[in-house]
């Protein structure tokens, strides 16, 4: 994928900023202000930020749509597996994109032939590479770059760097074999155990996908209005009247926590009411959560039909609630619930790439922590009127190479 990110995408940026081999716009109109393209030209920018930042930036929108087609090609190429129909779609998209590139930037002018380097032609052979060698993530250069970065600290001698690398690899391989043969992976590890539980953390078998991380605060720090908001969804979950929940809900059995960690390499999500962080640190409070909603909720006599729907919002509070065994709620034993108070984003729509955006926040709602999936990022639109939500889960998740110790 260096053909995409390090070559053709860089060439596009150079064309837009008027710095590509001395070429002007010719008969086109695609130059941008330099300040519009100072972000890191990486796959993240190409897939997520560019479709937001470049909208309405070109005098002629045809250049923006051509860029979106390029971004779509990258999305298709990054799939973990392909069908024959996918291959045909990628091949057709690449051909059309190259033909449009020639029309927009080469402009069929021999004096502008430098606008078409060999890397542009290379895009036409992406499908053949996939057919011969498999998905691009299986052989792209990023694992090798990470491996080289992993090796670099082991070079202790400027005079004999290759001997240092050889010794390091031999010793690492020997240690790896000892771990495997004698089952000493944990004993001989030089790193802290992955997903180790921090001191004072809270875990519960009913929530195997997450743990709660201190600090925590007692029930006295939870306002009466928040406790009321906890009761209302419980009545819906247990399919009883609110009064039945109130009879068994003890407000003193509510504990607040500052953070929740998604296990298995997931995110740490913060509740701003308790978790403090520096002003220049990333905002780790906006989340994605998936819930079942009734499609026929507005049709009074229609049967209930539940479908999964994705929501986004800002995590406000994390609660642990303990309910006693009771017939009213059909609880045979004491039950512990981990809940999240979330202020939902009022999604207004999506841009042409399917990225949702919002201007305002909705009311606070309480959901079960089991439905909380991951962190999401936000990008403020150029007009400052709305935020776009960057969700890297699902189809846009990446494959990662993780080197040994």
- For the stretch 184-206, pLDDT in tens is 877 877 766 655 678 899 999 99
Quick one: pLDDT at residue 274?
A: 80
Quick one: pLDDT at residue 401?
A: 44
More confident site: 167 or 44: 167
Lowest mean pLDDT among 82-96, 247-261, 315-329, 385-399: 385-399
What pTM was estimated for this model as a whole?
0.76
Quick one: pLDDT at residue 362?
A: 92
pLDDT of 365 > 50? The answer is: yes
Q: How many helices (H) and strands (E) does the chain have?
A: 12, 10
Quick one: pLDDT at residue 195?
A: 53
More confident site: 134 or 96: 96
388 pLDDT band, cuts 50/70/90, is very high
Instruction: Find out whether 356 and 371 touch, Cβ atoms under 8 Å.
Output: no
Distance separating alpha carbons of residues 343 and 364, to the nearest angstrom: 4
Distance separating alpha carbons of residues 396 and 403, to the nearest angstrom: 22
More confident site: 58 or 276: 58
123 pLDDT band, cuts 50/70/90, is very high
pLDDT of 402 > 70? The answer is: no
Beta bridge partners of residue 317, listed in sequence order: 341
400 pLDDT band, cuts 50/70/90, is very low
Tokens representing residue 120 in the block = 């542009």
In the predicted model, what is the mean pLDDT of the chain? 86
User: How many angstroms separate the Cα of 377 from the Cα of each of 68, 160, 226?
Assistant: 20, 45, 26
**7 exposure class (CB count in 10 Å sphere: 0-12, 13-18, 19+):** middle
pLDDT of 376 > 80? The answer is: yes
46 pLDDT band, cuts 50/70/90, is confident
- Averaged pLDDT for residues 353-375: 91
pLDDT of 403 > 60? The answer is: no
Quick one: pLDDT at residue 218?
A: 92
Instruction: Find out whether 211 and 266 touch, Cβ atoms under 8 Å.
Output: no
Give 208-233 pLDDT, tens digit per residue: 999 999 999 999 989 989 988 999 88
What ranges in 191-311 are assigned the alpha helix state H?
224-238, 242-248
């Amino acid at each position: 994928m260096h053909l995409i990110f390090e070559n053709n995408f860089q060439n596009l940026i150079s064309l837009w900023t008027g710095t590509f081999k001395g070429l002007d716009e010719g008969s086109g109109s695609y130059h941008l202000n330099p300040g519009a393209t100072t972000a890191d030209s990486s796959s993240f920018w190409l897939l997520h930020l560019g479709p937001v930042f470049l909208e309405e930036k070109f005098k002629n929108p045809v250049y923006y749509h051509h860029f979106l087609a390029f971004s779509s090609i990258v999305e298709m190429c990054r799939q973990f597996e392909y069908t024959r129909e996918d291959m045909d779609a990628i091949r057709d998209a690449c051909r059309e994109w190259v033909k449009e590139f020639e029309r927009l930037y080469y402009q069929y002018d021999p004096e502008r032939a430098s606008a078409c380097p060999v890397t542009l032609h290379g895009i036409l052979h992406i499908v053949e590479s996939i057919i011969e060698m498999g998905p691009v993530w299986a052989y792209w250069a990023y694992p090798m770059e990470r491996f080289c970065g992993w090796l670099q600290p082991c070079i202790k001698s400027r005079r004999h760097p290759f001997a240092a690398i050889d010794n390091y690899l031999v010793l690492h391989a020997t240690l790896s074999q000892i771990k495997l043969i004698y089952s000493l992976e944990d004993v001989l590890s030089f790193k802290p155990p992955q997903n180790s539980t921090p001191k004072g953390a809270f875990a519960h078998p009913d929530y195997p996908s997450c743990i709660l991380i201190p600090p925590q605060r007692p029930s006295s720090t939870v306002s009466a209005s928040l406790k009321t908001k906890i009761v209302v969804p419980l009545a819906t979950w247990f399919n009883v009247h609110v009064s039945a929940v109130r009879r068994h809900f003890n407000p003193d059995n509510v504990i607040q926590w500052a953070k929740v960690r998604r296990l298995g390499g997931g995110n740490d999500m913060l509740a701003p009411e308790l978790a403090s962080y520096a002003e220049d640190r990333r905002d780790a409070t906006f989340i994605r959560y998936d819930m079942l909603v009734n499609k026929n909720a507005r049709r009074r006599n229609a049967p209930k039909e539940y479908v999964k729907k994705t929501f986004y919002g800002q995590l406000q509070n994390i609660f642990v609630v303990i309910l006693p065994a009771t017939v009213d709620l059909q609880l045979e034993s004491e039950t512990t619930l981990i809940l999240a108070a979330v202020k939902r984003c009022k999604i207004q729509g999506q841009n042409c790439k399917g990225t949702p955006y919002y201007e305002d926040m909705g009311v606070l709602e309480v959901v079960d922590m089991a439905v909380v999936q991951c962190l999401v990022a936000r990008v403020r639109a150029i007009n400052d009127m709305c935020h776009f939500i960057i969700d890297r889960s699902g189809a846009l998740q990446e494959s990662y190479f993780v080197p040994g110790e």
